[in-house]
Amino acid sequence: MAETESPITPAELVDTLPEVHSLLAFFSRLDAADPLIRLAIAGAIAGLSFLLLLTCRFLISRRLHGMAGMPETSFSPLRWQAQDLVTAEEMKQFWMNVWRGLSWVLSLIFGVATLIGLLLTSEWTMSLAAHLMVMVLHALLYVWNGFVGYLPNLATVIVILVVARYTVRTIGLIFEGIASRRIYLRNFYPEWAHTSFGIIRLLIYALTAVIIFPYLPGSSSPAFQGISIFVGVLISLGSTTAVANVVAGVVLTYTRAFQIGDQVELGDVRGRIVERSTFVTRIQTLKNVTVSIPNSLVLNSNVVNYSKNLGQSGILVHTGITIGYDVPWQTVNALLLAAAQHTEHISAHPEPFVLQLSLEDNYVSYEVNGWTLKPELLPRIYSELHANILDEFHGHQVEITSPAYRSVRDGNPLTVPQVLPREASGGVTSVEDGNAVG
């Protein structure tokens, strides 16, 4: 059987380097010419390196001692708006750790140089010194060549980032002009500006990441690619609901269903839109409670916007009532109009009006309508309108009976309650019997 070759050890690999043999030949010639020259070179290397080691240790220790005694106010925190991302105390510890790391690096370099100088003083250790010098030089050259070799890619990445940054900034200025109505684009509404800019900015950043990915160090390694695939799978599996809310928010923006400040009704929630973010829509209800609704639910719900078409007339406040055939419709209309005219926040122009909706078996269905410019006060307006209807009908001895109510009259008094003065019911004036209704 053929003998298998044993693997080459790192020491044997260094022995095969031509630099080692060249150094050994150089030192051998120095020994042959004058051994004192080699000893002088070795002493100079060892002495100078040791002196630099002590100097660095002394200066850095002095610097660290001075930084330890400095107040924390001497260090600027890393702040974003009003929030300290890195406090002054943490910045102080960070810079002290930087100086400590620099001390260890310089100590290692000058310590190895001192060791090489000491090894050069003897013929027995001269070969070990040559090996150590070559190993250190190769390590430094490897780092330097890697840095220099990456400079073109680094320059490309910087150029791509700068171009992307200024592209986003220029587009942002354009959309800012659209939002402030300084720039007009046909069939493009100002409220679309922020959402459109966010989408374009996200696409530019994603394209930038795809372009610079091949220029990153280690991007072609299997480990880097495996981590990228794993992160992508996690995002895909965990962001289904989030993506649905983002897409729904974009659709709501371009459908112009509502804007900030509109009075809306989403499902069983009614109130004012106070925030429309990427994921949720927040509504301040009439009870002064803020409700957060995911955009996906908003998109799948019926949106009733009370502020969309206010214009100069406003929106219609309407409520229905059923009265028997024994009461003339002219009287019912007059009473309903009077109730609407006495209701605060129902406009006099355009005037309120009454509709006869249907003629049922036992009653007539009426509907009073009035215009208001205060959609945020609809519950209060309806409450006051209903109270005024009761006052007007009871004040004129007109019964409001339920459609399912039946009675046989045999001279019993009417089921009409006593009418309170309007001053006692919130400032509403009373209606006396016998006066004209209007």
Q: What is the pLDDT of residues 193-245, one digit of tens each?
A: 888 888 899 889 989 988 888 888 766 767 666 776 766 666 665 556 777 77
**The pLDDT of residue 59:** 92
**The pLDDT of residue 13:** 42
- Residue 11's pLDDT band, with cuts at 50, 70 and 90, is very low
Return the higher-pLDDT residue of 352 and 268. Answer: 352
- What type of residue sits at position 348? A
Asked whether residue 429 carries a pLDDT value surpassing 80, the answer given is no
- Residue 422's pLDDT band, with cuts at 50, 70 and 90, is low
- Residue 313's pLDDT band, with cuts at 50, 70 and 90, is confident
Question: Cα separations (Å) of 230 from 5, 216, 220, 316?
Answer: 40, 18, 16, 57
Average pLDDT, the chain: 79
- Range with top average pLDDT, 11-25, 134-148, 321-335, 409-423: 321-335
- Residue 2's pLDDT band, with cuts at 50, 70 and 90, is very low
> Mean pLDDT over residues 60-69, rounded?
88
Q: Using CA atoms, how far apart are residues 251 and 242, in angstroms rounded to an integer?
A: 14
**The pLDDT of residue 32:** 59
**The pLDDT of residue 341:** 92
**66 Cβ partners below 8 Å, 6+ apart?**
none
**The pLDDT of residue 375:** 83
**183 Cβ partners below 8 Å, 6+ apart?**
174, 177
> Mean pLDDT over residues 332-360, rounded?
91
Question: Cα separations (Å) of 108 from 58, 217, 293, 435?
Answer: 15, 27, 60, 108
Return the higher-pLDDT residue of 182 and 242. Answer: 182
- Residue 25's pLDDT band, with cuts at 50, 70 and 90, is low
- Under 8 Å between Cβ of 324 and 414: no
Cis peptide before 350 (omega within 30 of 0): yes
> Mean pLDDT over residues 351-361, rounded?
90
- Residue 342's pLDDT band, with cuts at 50, 70 and 90, is very high
**The pLDDT of residue 51:** 92
315 bridge partner residues: 372
Q: Using CA atoms, how far apart are residues 82 and 409, in angstroms rounded to an integer?
A: 77
Q: Using CA atoms, how far apart are residues 138 and 431, in angstroms rounded to an integer?
A: 106
- Under 8 Å between Cβ of 328 and 299: no
Asked whether residue 271 carries a pLDDT value surpassing 70, the answer given is yes
Q: Which of 305, 313, 281 is nearest to 376 (CA)?
A: 305
**The pLDDT of residue 122:** 73
> Mean pLDDT over residues 152-176, rounded?
90
